[in-house]
């Protein structure tokens, strides 16, 4: 009898092919404008503005007292404006809203009115204001005032016009590049921002101003504070040696004290970059 060949067992199956590696963890998305807005609002909610025409201004001067020449006669005038944290890219509109509080309007202007008017006129899509001319037109429509648009820098007649305007308790809207500490910087307009100036600190030649209608701060005997309703500015621009601007902007509740020279350099730098 022929022998039958034994049946061969099938080979074992190959090991399973390993699956693809798990995907890497998703990167966190950058914070949205809403998140930034909430951050500003969170910071602001833990603080409160210092009210009063001279309260916060004197505090800022005390913190920097060594910067001010004591051979000059220093006088401060300021009209308090309320603070408002901006909601998105609304710095120009917020600055205008703050400015309305210095115009002694018969009826208060709401922020919603400012925003809706700007959008209806086509000046803005999301609250941003890139045109100083449009912001001036918006101010005239919303406030019923006459807005003057300055050009050519802040030296000479423009600088004198600004500190006389502030002396009279009137607001000045200032475009500038906003650094991380909210100080003016030179970023070619890439950090464009708006602020409203409501006061001015001037260092003058001694004897330039009659101090009969001023008073001094108890902690700053060399600083003269102008009366609440000052007379028309009696200062000759030729006697002004140093000028600082008191301003607010929509990312902080606090006043800022900037030298007029730093703002002028910022605007001059932007102008040269624009025309280069």
How would you class 120 by CB atoms within 10 Å of its CB: exposed for 0-12, middle for 13-18, buried for 19 or more?
exposed
Compute the distance between CA of residue 259 and CA of residue 200 in angstroms, rounded to an integer.
10
Name the pairing type of β-strands 172-178 and 184-185.
antiparallel
Residue 233: active-site member: no
CA distance to 74, 80, 241, per residue, from 210 (Å): 12, 24, 17
Indicate the DSSP class of residue 67: G
Task: List Cα–Cα distances, 51 to 31, 105, 162, 255, in angstroms.
Answer: 32, 20, 23, 10
Closest CA to 168 of 200, 132, 204, 214: 200
Q: What is the maximal distance between C-alpha atoms in the chain?
A: 141
167 token code pair: 């002396």
CA-closest candidate to residue 194, choices 179, 211, 176, 208: 176
Among candidate residues 5, 58, 91, 143, the one labeled active-site is 91
Phi and psi based region of residue 52 (left: phi greater than 0; alpha: psi -120 to 50; beta: remaining): left
46 in the Ramachandran plot: left (φ > 0), alpha (ψ -120 to 50) or beta? Answer: alpha
Q: Which residues are catalytic?
A: 91
């Amino acid at each position: 009898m022929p022998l039958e060949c034994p049946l061969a067992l099938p080979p074992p199956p190959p090991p399973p092919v390993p699956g693809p590696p798990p995907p890497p963890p998703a990167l966190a998305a950058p914070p949205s404008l809403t998140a930034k807005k909430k951050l500003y609002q969170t910071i602001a909610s833990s603080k409160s503005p210092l009210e009063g025409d001279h309260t916060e201004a004197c505090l800022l001067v005390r913190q920097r007292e060594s910067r001010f020449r004591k051979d000059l006669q220093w006088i401060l005038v300021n009209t308090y404006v309320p603070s408002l944290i901006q909601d998105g890219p609304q710095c120009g509109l917020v600055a205008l809203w703050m400015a309305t509080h210095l115009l002694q309007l018969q009826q208060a202007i709401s922020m919603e009115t400012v925003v809706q008017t700007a959008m209806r006129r086509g000046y803005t899509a999301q609250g941003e204001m890139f045109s100083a001319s449009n912001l001036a037109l918006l101010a005239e429509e919303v406030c019923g005032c006459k807005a003057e648009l300055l050009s050519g820098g802040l030296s000479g007649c423009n600088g004198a016009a600004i500190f006389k305007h502030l002396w009279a308790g009137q607001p000045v809207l200032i475009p500038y590049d906003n650094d991380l500490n909210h100080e003016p910087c030179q970023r070619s307009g890439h950090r464009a921002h708006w602020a409203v100036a409501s006061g001015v600190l001037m260092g003058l030649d001694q004897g330039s101003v009659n101090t009969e209608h001023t008073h001094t701060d108890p902690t700053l005997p060399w600083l003269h504070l102008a009366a609440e309703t000052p007379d028309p500015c009696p200062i000759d621009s030729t006697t002004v040696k140093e000028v600082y601007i008191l301003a607010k902007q929509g990312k902080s509740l606090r006043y800022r004290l900037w030298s007029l020279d730093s703002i002028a350099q910022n605007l001059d730098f932007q102008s040269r970059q624009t025309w280069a």
